[in-house]
Chains A and B, each alone.
Chain A
Amino acid sequence: MEKKQSSIAAARAARRAARAKENEANQKKASKKGKIQITLGVLLFIAIIITGYVLKVNVSSKSALMWVFGISFGVTLQRARFCFTAAVRDPALTGSMSLAKSVLIAIGIATIGFAAIHYANGDPSTAKLAKGAYYFVKPVGLHTAVGAFLFGIGMVIAGGCASGTLMRIGEGFMMQMITLIFFICGVLLGFANRPFWKDKIFFKPVHFPKEFGWVPALFLQFVLLFLCFLTVEYISRKRKQKK
């Protein structure tokens, strides 16, 4: 075991020495450059706080609130390298399943919170909500299947979905800037095309709590999530066996 580790260590040391030599020749220090980035990061942090304050005073408290949420989402996405694309793609492509499971856990936790909020704000028997609160329950039908299928293809070849694209622009990816531009074009096209899909194959939204009641709906939800968990495990294991 020790001998094995040392072959990596030897290669690392050799490369480090080569880099040091190169840096010396170019008369620059890598560590100094890193400090500039951190300073810029701290300045940006201060600018973010000021922006939030300015939004609150000059624009609206709703905008300021969304600024805080957006920053929190962005920090979490980037720090955890949270990527919904990889979650969907990797079990079958590489056999990695930790992200897929993480997404299922996130959905599970959010389900509990959403259900509690919806329950408190509406009439549980009809699943109608008080004014100002919304369900995120949309029409389901062939358009959902086609749209999700296209989205799945698009996100894998572009290397990131909506959240991933925004996050990677922040990290300095030119490619994702192009993706964003054409994402916007696609959105405009897609929205304009909604009547086409609506005329043919829209069905009514289906909300589990309305159909089955709250407790059976939650039970069904977690059974489905557990099945997804098993599916992810099965697909990943099968992928790993295949060489």
Chain B
Amino acid sequence: MSNENQQSLVSSLYERFLKNPWPYYTGAVILAVLNVALLAASGKPWGISGIFNYWGGMIVELFGGSVENWLFFKNPKHLKLLHKGFWGNPGSVRDFAIIIAALMTSLLAGQFKFKMIKSWRQFAAAVIGGLFMGYGAMIAFGCNIGGLFSGTASMSLHGWVFMVFIFLGGLVGSKILVKYLL
């Protein structure tokens, strides 16, 4: 009898924390607390896209290319960090960990599924969307995380301007999506 009760406790905890999605507000509070903790622990708030400069550099160097002439790596600090490698670069570890964590939780929920690209249109959307996001994030000094979340929370004007224009971009993007991708 008690064994049965325990069984149901385990399975209800599993359902609640690992199977069913958490409420958005729970996520919001945890992410905010983590971002504050990150700032306190490392001196810098959360950001994602800036790290992709290093990933790009790593890929190019992997294929024997040279990155010394790139604007980003003309800063000796950046070049030094690049040569610490994938795991020696704390930001790169942090970005990669997000992929692994999402893989783990979707496996634990029994909800992992490998999803192929459905059509050429979807492929084109991924290419154009990726390019726009990368370019936009770099000239605006931040993506949704570094600009919208951390930038605004730092009480910087650039975060607020980012928020207004990302909303307008989102409106245009939605129009494009409904027209071409449906």
Contact = CB atoms under 8 A, between A and B. Distances in A.
B81 to A, nearest CB: 11
Contacts of B148: 84, 88, 103, 107
Contacts of B126: 158, 175-176, 178-179, 182
Nearest to A181: B130
Contacts, number: 513
- Main SS of chain B's interface residues? helix
B97 A74 contact: yes
B168 A152 contact: yes
Interface in A156-191: 156-159, 161-163, 165-176, 178-191
Interface string B20-52: 011111111111111111111111111111101
B101 interface: yes
Interface string A124-139: 0000000011111111
A150 B46 CA distance: 21
A45 B102 contact: no
Interface of A: 34-35, 37-38, 40-42, 44-45, 48, 55, 59-60, 62-63, 65-67, 69-82, 84-85, 88-89, 92-93, 98-99, 102-103, 105-111, 113-115, 117-118, 132-140, 143-159, 161-163, 165-176, 178-195, 197, 205-209, 217-218, 221, 224, 228
Interface of B: 17-18, 21-50, 52-53, 55-56, 59, 70-72, 87-91, 93-118, 122-123, 125-158, 160-174, 176-178, 181
29 contacts: A37-B111, A41-B107, A63-B87, A69-B46, A73-B94, A73-B98, A78-B105, A88-B167, A88-B170, A106-B29, A109-B28, A117-B39, A144-B165, A146-B136, A150-B133, A154-B130, A157-B128, A157-B129, A159-B125, A161-B144, A161-B145, A163-B143, A171-B112, A179-B126, A183-B134, A188-B52, A188-B53, A208-B157, A224-B160
